Structure 1
Amino acid sequence: MAEVTLHNITKRFGATTALDGVSMTVPDGSFVVLLGPTGAGKTTTLRLISGLDRPESGEIAIGGRPVADLTPAQRNVAMVFQQYSLYPHMTVRENLAFPLKSPILRTPADEIDRRIGRVAEMLQISHKLDNKATALSGGEMQRVSIGRALVRDPQVFLMDEPLSSLDAKLRSDLRVELKSIQQEARATFLYVTHDQVEAMTMASHVGVLEKGRLVQFGTPREVYEDPVSIHAAGRLGLPRINIVPADLFGPAPEGVEWIGLRPEQIRQGEGPQAEVVRVEHLGDQTRLHLSFRNHDLVTVTDAHTELRAGQMLSIRPENPFYFDASGARTHRGR
């Protein structure tokens, strides 16, 4: 496996700047998740690393080696797309074997069989090896798609929302499997997703992109507990962070326009009263939707709370995040 470095990467499509001076290091053996809305530059980053696109400026290196002059095949990376991208006329075994039979790899037949067997067992599809791809369920097809990347044993795995088209249970199962595979293989993963749960549960590092710029890079806990901006704060956490005017609870420090309150930063039982608008029982916790001085707030409370819609609840902020008018974090000491 290998470290991936991007230094001052800029990529344009006509008049649109997809990436603007992005620098980032994906450590060897890490699981890095890129977060950001559509158009932030996540998929473009993967395509540049893989060699499918070329940057206007900047340098990309894999394992310390600049890759500007290398073709996608020579870079030895494997990419998994959101769509399954399988050959429908081939069996699962043939789909898994296909990348190993390329003229560049020239993998011996016995080695192909060994790798297919290992990956099929890992992904729990050994019993499907002789099935045509068209005979598989959606979850099985995505497992084969992921398996086709795993058999190659590349330097870097690039994954573009590979679980987004699956149902909730399959996504949960494959999250666990992918993280286990990554740790077992000590592989370098760069993974794009909109799903905050995937980022929080799988990532060793999170990169937050906004309009083609990397605005924050760190562990999921660092981004959650110490966001640099409103945008970064909103990328992680369910329920989403509450962003309200700075003076909603009283005078704010100079230069502060907004305050951010995660559910645990709203203290209950003290302070002015808010109205409980809706109560959502989620099993292990209860989510409270509140109305406070014409602003909506969401927090969580005990799973067995007896609070009901229409009741009043005293609340106050506790160690809120402070943001200026541009959305940048200020007063970082909290």
Structure 2
Amino acid sequence: MAEVTLTNISKSFGDQIGLDDVSMTIPDGSFVVLLGPTGAGKTTTLRMVSGLDKPDSGRITIGGRDMASYTPAQRDVTMVFQQYSLYPHLTVRQNLEFPLKSPILRTPQDEIDRKVGEVAEVLQISHKLDNKATALSGGEMQRVSIGRALVRQPSVYLMDEPLSSLDAKLRSDLRIELKSIQANSGATFLYVTHDQIEAMTMATHVGVLDHGKLVQFGSPREVYESPVSIYAASRLGQPRINVLPADVFGGGPASATHIGLRPEQIVQGDGEDSIVNRVEHLGDQTRLHLSFKSHDLITVTDAYTNLKAGDVVKIRPDKALYFGADGARVA
């Protein structure tokens, strides 16, 4: 496997900035997830590493080697796109075999058969191996697309929202399988997603991008508990962080203009009155939608609560986060 480093990478597409002076180290054997809205620079980062696009400035190394003169085929990376890209005239088995039959790899047939069988079992498509790609559902096509990457065992796996087209159960199953594959193989993953659950459950590191800038890079727990800004705080956590005027509860740093409260940072039972607007029973927990001094906020409570709309609940903040007028964290 290999460490990947991006040093002062910038890329523009006409007047649109793709990446703006991004520096990041993807450690060998890590599972790095990039988060951010559409246009933040996530897919552009993948394309820079893969060699499909070249940076306007900066340097990319994989395994200590400068990639400036390397073609995509020479970089020993594999990429799974958001939209599955299969050979429609080939069977599932032939699609999975295709990268292994490359003249560069020269994989023996018995090794090809073994790898294809193992990956097909993990992705739950063993019974589809002899089907043409055109006979598959969208979710099955995406699993084959992921499988084509997994059979290769490259230095770096690049994945652009590979689970977005799958149903909830399969997405949950494959989250576990992909993380298991990465952990057991020591592979290096660079993974793009909008799904906060994928980031929290799979990532060793999270990179938060905003309009081409890397605003925070750290473990999921670090980004969740110690975000550098309101923007970074909003990338992780479900429900999203509550952001209110800093003085709504009184106190707080003088330079703060906003207080940020994760749902679990709102203590119930004492403090000031709030009104329950709505109760959402989710099985393992219950979400309360509250109105507090004309501000809406969401917190969580016991799964078996008897609270209902119209009830009054006393609340207070606990270990709150504070932010300044520019959105940056205030200590």
Query: Normalised by the size of structure 1, how large is the TM-score?
Result: 0.97
For residues 285-296 of structure 1, the aligned pairs below 5 Å read: 285-296=285-296
* Deviation, structure 1 residue 128: 1.6
1:37 maps onto 2:42 in alignment: no
Unaligned runs of 5+ in 2: none
Q: Which amino acid aligns with 1:183?
A: A
1:89 maps onto 2:55 in alignment: no
1:103 maps onto 2:99 in alignment: no
For residues 264-279 of structure 1, the aligned pairs below 5 Å read: 264-279=264-279
| Stretch moving more, 309-318 or 117-126 | 117-126
Query: Normalised by the size of structure 2, how large is the TM-score?
Result: 0.98
* Counterpart position of 1:75: 75
Q: Which amino acid aligns with 1:323?
A: F
1:133-174, Cα deviation, whole Å (9 max, x unpaired): 122233322211111011111100000000111221221111
* Deviation, structure 1 residue 109: 2.8
Specify the SS of the correspondent of 1:73: helix
* Deviation, structure 1 residue 126: 2.1
Specify the SS of the correspondent of 2:191: strand
Percent of counterpart pairs with the same letter?
75
For residues 196-215 of structure 1, the aligned pairs below 5 Å read: 196-215=196-215
Q: Which amino acid aligns with 1:52?
A: L
Q: Which amino acid aligns with 2:319?
A: N
* Deviation, structure 1 residue 215: 0.8
* Deviation, structure 1 residue 224: 0.6
Q: Is the 8 A contact 2:142 2:165 kept in 1?
A: no
* Counterpart position of 1:314: 314
* Counterpart position of 1:57: 57
* Counterpart position of 1:28: 28
* Deviation, structure 1 residue 250: 1.6
* Counterpart position of 2:220: 220
* Deviation, structure 1 residue 285: 0.4
* Deviation, structure 1 residue 113: 2.2
Question: Partners in 1 of 2:272 and 2:165 — Cα distance?
Answer: 44
* Deviation, structure 1 residue 125: 2.0
Q: Which amino acid aligns with 2:189?
A: F
Q: Which amino acid aligns with 1:297?
A: L
* Counterpart position of 2:244: 244
* Deviation, structure 1 residue 86: 1.0
1:131 maps onto 2:108 in alignment: no
Runs of 4+, deviation exceeding 3 Å: none
1:325 maps onto 2:325 in alignment: yes
1:57-104, Cα deviation, whole Å (9 max, x unpaired): 110000111111000000010000111111111101110111122233
* Deviation, structure 1 residue 132: 0.9
Unaligned runs of 5+ in 1: none
1:48 maps onto 2:48 in alignment: yes
Question: Partners in 1 of 2:95 and 2:178 — Cα distance?
Answer: 19
Question: Partners in 2 of 1:251 and 1:124 — Cα distance?
Answer: 55
